[in-house]
């Protein structure tokens, strides 16, 4: 059974590739890594711990070690209900470590949304239904629905990657009402871009324009997964995906290794 990795690689060197306007959002895109290499700091640490000198170590090398600073929402990650607020469906919102693994290993559909994608705009319910009809599969209770938006054309160095099509409250609740539990996208975020929502609020004064795709998760519990990759390598349906986050106690999200199991 082929395994397809849907996880974006986290590379500290990407900080130099981010477009200047995106630098303030670096914490959800790029980790900070302090590298202790075997021939460098790793050897120094071992010599200190064991009271030896470099010539006592194989080829004068110690171990490799890294200290990594990350945001819980960095890269490919799973949002727990706590991310949308302290309550969900009228009950205390669950944290990431409270989600059972069997809830994150589920039948999966990939909706090809590219024909309906407009940068900075939200997908309509009609567009979702058309993509579902074209998919040929069925959303089942507890399943995952992944949106292929076309953002695979870009990477973190391209400004176009950040002006992505997103989801609205109506679209999110529409998929959730069908039974979808995991909602994923290959875009940087699930909602429309922040600037698009900010502009919509400025023009209308309508607060429902603010982060409405995520806030929908307060009404209907879903787990949102962002910054997926390799969706172009997946069949439309008929496979399972594991969305397994790091087990961080009391957190609203965690980076995940997302892997599709394709028959």
Q: State the CATH number of the domain containing residue 86.
A: 3.50.30.50
Q: What is the pLDDT of residue 236?
A: 98
Task: Give the Cα separation of 103 and 3 in Å (integer).
Answer: 19
Q: Is residue 63 a part of any domain in this protein?
A: yes
Q: Domains in the chain: how many in total? A: 2
Q: Are residues 54 and 89 in the same domain?
A: no
Q: Please tell me the number of Cα atoms within 13 Å of 150 on its side-chain side.
A: 13
Q: What is the pLDDT of residue 13?
A: 97
Write the DSSP symbol of residue 52.
-
Structural domain including 201 reads: 77-261
Q: Are residues 165 and 149 in the same domain?
A: yes
Q: Is residue 11 a part of any domain in this protein?
A: no
Q: Are residues 43 and 102 in the same domain?
A: no
Q: Is residue 151 a part of any domain in this protein?
A: yes
Q: What is the pLDDT of residue 179?
A: 98
Q: Are residues 38 and 132 in the same domain?
A: no
Q: Is residue 1 a part of any domain in this protein?
A: no
Q: Is residue 202 a part of any domain in this protein?
A: yes
Q: Are residues 64 and 83 in the same domain?
A: no
Q: What is the pLDDT of residue 11?
A: 97
pLDDT digit of tens for each residue in the chain (263 aa)? 799 999 999 999 999 999 999 999 999 999 999 999 999 999 999 999 999 999 999 999 999 999 999 999 999 999 999 999 999 999 999 999 999 999 999 999 999 999 999 999 999 999 999 999 999 999 999 999 999 999 999 999 999 999 999 999 999 999 999 999 999 999 999 999 999 999 999 999 999 999 999 999 999 999 999 999 999 999 999 999 999 999 999 999 999 999 999 99
Write the DSSP symbol of residue 150.
S
Q: Are residues 115 and 206 in the same domain?
A: yes
The number of beta carbons lying within 10 Å of the beta carbon of residue 11 is 14
Q: Are residues 151 and 180 in the same domain?
A: yes
**Cα–Cα nearest to 239, from 111, 103, 108, 144:** 108
User: Whole-structure pTM over 0.75, yes or no?
Assistant: yes
Task: Give the Cα separation of 169 and 174 in Å (integer).
Answer: 8
Helix (H, G, I), strand (E, B) or coil at 226: strand
Q: Is residue 59 a part of any domain in this protein?
A: yes
Q: What is the pLDDT of residue 1?
A: 77
Q: Are residues 94 and 220 in the same domain?
A: yes
φ, ψ dihedrals at 242, nearest 5°: -105, 125
């Amino acid at each position: 059974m082929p395994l397809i990795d849907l996880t974006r690689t986290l590379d500290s060197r990407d900080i130099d590739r981010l477009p200047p306007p995106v630098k303030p959002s670096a914490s959800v895109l790029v980790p900070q890594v302090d590298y202790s290499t075997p021939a460098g700091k790793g050897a120094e640490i071992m010599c200190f711990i064991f009271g030896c000198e470099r010539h006592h170590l194989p080829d004068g090398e110690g171990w490799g070690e890294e200290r990594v600073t990350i945001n819980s929402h960095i890269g490919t990650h799973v949002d727990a209900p706590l991310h949308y607020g302290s309550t969900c469906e009228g009950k205390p919102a669950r944290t990431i470590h409270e989600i059972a693994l069997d809830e994150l290993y589920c039948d999966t559909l990939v909706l090809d949304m590219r024909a309906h994608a407009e940068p900075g705009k939200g997908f309509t319910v009609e567009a979702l239904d058309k993509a579902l009809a074209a998919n040929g599969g069925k959303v089942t209770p507890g399943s995952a629905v992944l949106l292929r938006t076309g953002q695979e054309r870009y990477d973190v160095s391209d400004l176009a990657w950040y002006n992505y099509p997103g989801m609205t409250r109506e679209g999110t609740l529409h998929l959730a009402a069908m039974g979808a539990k995991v909602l994923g996208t290959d875009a940087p975020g699930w909602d429309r871009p922040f600037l698009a929502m900010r502009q919509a609020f400025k023009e209308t004064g309508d607060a429902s324009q603010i982060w409405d795709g995520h806030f929908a998760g307060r009404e209907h519990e879903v787990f949102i997964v962002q910054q997926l990759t390799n969706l172009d390598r997946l069949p439309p349906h008929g496979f399972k995906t594991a969305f397994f986050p790091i087990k961080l106690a009391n957190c609203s999200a965690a980076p995940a290794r997302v892997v599709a199991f394709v028959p």
